[in-house]
Amino acid sequence: MSPENPYGLCILVPVYHPYSWIAPFMAEALKTFWPNHPPLFFCGLTSAEAPHLPTLPLSETALPRDWTVFTLEAISALQSQGFSQCYLLLEEHLPLAPCQTTHLNSTLPALLEKLQGSYIGLMGWDNRRYTTRAPLLPQNEYCLMHLSTPQAPRFHLHPSLWRIETLADALRLTLHGKNHTPWRFEKVNERHDAELPARWKNGCYQISGARLSLRKPSIAQKISRWIERFIFHKLMAVHQFVPAGLISKKLWQWIGFDNFYYDGPYPMFFSGVMAKGEINPFFIRYMQQNFQTRRLLEALLDAKIQHSHPTSAPTTFI
């Protein structure tokens, strides 16, 4: 690659077609919050469906589209263009605040090369949801967690930095079954016995958001977050003994294990914009509580209405 892009870095956004209306929001959010981002590509949409977005060609345009097939096709196209690393961002995981662009553009790609890694998750180990205990790297390697234990969250589809060769292998493995959804991608590839090369499974890391975020937490915030993680981890330990069913589901939702804002180098909402085809109610609640994000929320709600009822008037955001 060029001296301006020494790590062969790019961003790939696979788009689930029913969520195609979110794709322009992702492009605008990246422009706003990550202005010097590496080359950006979308896949899963035709150029006619997204004329103002940098889409990669689709060999099969009939609906419904196979997520794993069109993402693997896009990865092959990126490899042919000489890219070797990519941030994989699902269309619904928008950045919600200014990113730490130096770490995203330089620090993490350099670490992926230095560590001969395959994957660095941007949903860090210091959030309240994950309970994994695994070795931490030293301060000069930004306290990354080495996901070396059998239960570690490898190859998840929260925003992450991938070695493109690894991502291609993970997508090919997902093709072996009939179900090629993002959900199955995670279930197949996160297993410690997944049929992937050992070097890929042993090369997975997860960031410390506090160490790499643009807004460094104060001592009080660090203590508060530690207490929050401690409480939620205890609650999660208890929840596993609740009988499966409606009570378990309601308790999970009430406690809100998956519903929080995570402030790392790529600030995001853990459970994303969407839930079961609708805008995530927990995401709405969070956005309503923050004055700076209300305009974006209003635009998302209007765009969802416009998508469902095309005669409605569209709005802009940010």
pLDDT for the residue 312: 45
pLDDT for the residue 174: 97
User: By percentage, how much of the chain surpasses pLDDT 70?
Assistant: 92
pLDDT band at 177 (very low <50, low <70, confident <90, very high): confident
pLDDT band at 294 (very low <50, low <70, confident <90, very high): confident
Would the pLDDT of 33 be above 70?
Answer: yes
Instruction: Kindly tell me the number of DSSP H helices and DSSP E strands found in the chain.
Output: 12, 11
pLDDT band at 146 (very low <50, low <70, confident <90, very high): very high
Tokens of 233: 């981890």
Q: Using alpha carbons, list the distances in angstroms from residue 185 to 14, 45, 156, 182, 188.
A: 13, 20, 8, 5, 5
Residue 86, Ramachandran bin (φ over 0: left; ψ between -120 and 50: alpha; else beta): beta
Average pLDDT estimate for 64-92: 97
Nearest-5° Cα angle at 140, 211 to 110: 90
pLDDT band at 241 (very low <50, low <70, confident <90, very high): confident
Query: Is the whole model's pTM more than 0.85, yes or no?
Result: yes
pLDDT for the residue 6: 92
Fold of 9-212: Spore Coat Polysaccharide Biosynthesis Protein SpsA; Chain A (3.90.550)
**DSSP secondary structure code for residue 121 in this structure:** E
Q: Which residues of 59-86 are buried (b: 16+ CB within 10 A; e: fewer)?
A: eeeeeebebbbbbbbbbeebbeeebbbb
Cβ–Cβ < 8 Å for 85, 164:
yes
> Which secondary-structure segment (H or E) carries 220?
helix 219-239
The verdict on whether omega for the bond into residue 64 sits within 30 degrees of 0, i.e. cis, is yes
In the predicted model, what is the mean pLDDT of the chain?
90
Would the pLDDT of 140 be above 80?
Answer: yes
